[in-house]
């Protein structure tokens, strides 16, 4: 199902909860600081569940029918140490 931006349905109003505390000193999200974009140790492709040691450079990451060519991958970090520090505080 595709979202039609011209469907004419208005956005719902922004609801503000009076019990939510807003912090003035909350850090601003910066992807260069808060994300650690690393590759997984391995990737498994849907084509015969081929196990490859690193993410391959696929000519087309999404198949012509719209499906991904990646079945699953090994674990990999997404958040940086700084982001974990901010989350814990």
What does the block give as tokens for 33?
A: 């600081």
> Do the domain assignments include residue 79?
yes
Q: Tell if the pTM clears 0.85, that is, is over it.
A: no
Domain count of the chain?
Answer: 1
Confidence of residue 34 (pLDDT cuts 50, 70, 90): confident
Question: In this predicted structure, what is the pLDDT of residue 1?
Answer: 44
Is the per-residue pLDDT at 83 higher than 80? yes
Q: Average pLDDT in the 11-39 region?
A: 77
Mean pLDDT of the chain: 76
> Do the domain assignments include residue 10?
no
> Do the domain assignments include residue 41?
yes
Give the residue numbers spanning the domain of 38.
31-56+69-88
> Do the domain assignments include residue 82?
yes
């Amino acid at each position: 199902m595709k979202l039609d931006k011209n469907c004419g349905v208005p956005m719902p109003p922004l609801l503000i909860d009076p019990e939510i505390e807003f912090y003035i000193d909350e850090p601003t999200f910066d992807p260069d600081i808060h994300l650690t974009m690393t590759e997984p140790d391995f990737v498994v492709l849907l084509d015969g569940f081929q196990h490859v040691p690193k993410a391959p450079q696929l000519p087309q990451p999404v198949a012509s029918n719209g499906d991904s060519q990646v079945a699953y991958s090994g674990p990999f970090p997404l958040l940086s140490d700084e982001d974990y520090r901010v989350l814990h505080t």
